[in-house]
Amino acid sequence: MDEIRYRVIRSNRKTMSGTIKDGILEVRAPRYVSDEEIKDFVLSHRAWIEKHMAKYKEMEEKEKGEPGLTMDDVRTLADEALKVIPSKVKFYAEKLGVTYGRITVRNQTTKWGSCTAKGNLNFNCLLMLAPSEVLDSVIVHELAHRKHMNHSKQFYEEVLGVLPDYHKWDKWLKDNGGSLIRRMKRG
C-alpha cells in the first residue's frame, strides 16, 4: 500500500475533515488533535481519498490540452460579463420580485457569485465560459439571497420557483468549475 501524503491545517475547529486541493490531501484538524490521531483519520478514510485522488488525476490529464487564460483573456471575459450580466440580473430580479444594488464582475478563484446584505452583487467573469444556464443559475441563486440570506428550504423554493432545473446546472458548475478556475491559474 502506498503511503498517503497530506498536509495539516490546524485551527480552532472542533472536528477533522479532509479535502483534495490541487492534487494534495489537506486535513483540517483542531489544534489539540495529535499527529497520531490525524494519521488514523487519514487511514480510516483511505478509500475515499484514493477515489478522489484518482478523479483529480483523471481530470488533470483531461485538462492538459486546454490552454490557460491570459490576463487579456480574463479582461475580455470581464468586459463580456459586464455586457451580459446586468440585463439578466434585471430580468430575474423582476421574476423574484427583489431589488439589488451595484453589480461587480471579478476574476475570482473561489466564488462564482455573492450577494451583500446591502444587495450588491458580485459575479465571477469565468461564468462566461460556462453554459448560459449556469450563469442564470448563479444569478438566480444570488438574487434569492435578497429574500433569504441563507440556504434554507425557503431559499431553494425561491430558486426552484424560477429555475426548476437549478440543481442540474449547479451540479455542472460543481463538476466543471474547478477546471475553469485552473485555466485562469495556468495563464
Q: Which of 105, 100, 102, 101 is nearest to 81 (CA)?
A: 105
Question: Domain end: 26, 42, 63, which one?
Answer: 63
The CATH number given to whatever domain includes residue 174 is 3.30.2010.10
Question: Domain end: 63, 84, 112, which one?
Answer: 63
Q: Are residues 135 and 177 in the same domain?
A: yes
Q: Are residues 107 and 55 in the same domain?
A: no
Q: Are residues 35 and 125 in the same domain?
A: no
Q: pLDDT tens digit string along 122-131?
A: 999 999 999 9
Listed in sequence order, the residues at least 6 apart from 102 whose beta carbon sits closer than 8 Å to its beta carbon are: 120, 121
Mode of pairing for the β-strands spanning 121-124 and 103-106: parallel
Whole-structure pTM value: 0.74
| pLDDT above 60 for 1 | no
Give the Å distances, CA to CA, from 156 to 92, 117, 176, 184: 15, 18, 22, 30
Q: pLDDT tens digit string along 102-116?
A: 999 998 888 999 999
Q: pLDDT tens digit string along 121-157?
A: 999 999 999 999 999 999 999 999 999 999 999 999 9
Domain total in the chain: 2
Write out the E strands in 79-132: 103-106, 113-115, 121-124
Query: pLDDT above 90 covers what percent of the chain?
Result: 74
Q: Are residues 82 and 164 in the same domain?
A: yes
Q: Are residues 99 and 136 in the same domain?
A: yes
Q: For residue 95, which phi and psi values (nearest 5 degrees)?
A: -60, -40
**Segment 91-120 mean pLDDT:** 95
Q: Which of 20, 148, 129 is nearest to 84 (CA)?
A: 129
Q: What's at 174, amino acid-wise? A: K
What domain range includes position 101?
A: 71-186
Write out the E strands in 66-120: 103-106, 113-115
Instruction: List the Cα angle 20/23/26 in 5-degree steps.
Output: 40
Instruction: Please indicate, yes or no, if residue 1 is contained in any of the structural domains.
Output: no
| pLDDT above 70 for 164 | yes
Q: Are residues 59 and 80 in the same domain?
A: no
Task: List the grid coordinates of 144.
Answer: 434569492
Instruction: Please indicate, yes or no, if residue 162 is contained in any of the structural domains.
Output: yes
Q: Are residues 128 and 96 in the same domain?
A: yes
Instruction: Please indicate, yes or no, if residue 167 is contained in any of the structural domains.
Output: yes
Q: Are residues 95 and 111 in the same domain?
A: yes
Q: pLDDT tens digit string along 7-48?
A: 999 999 999 999 888 788 999 999 999 999 999 999 999 999
CA 31 vs. chain centroid, Å, equals: 27
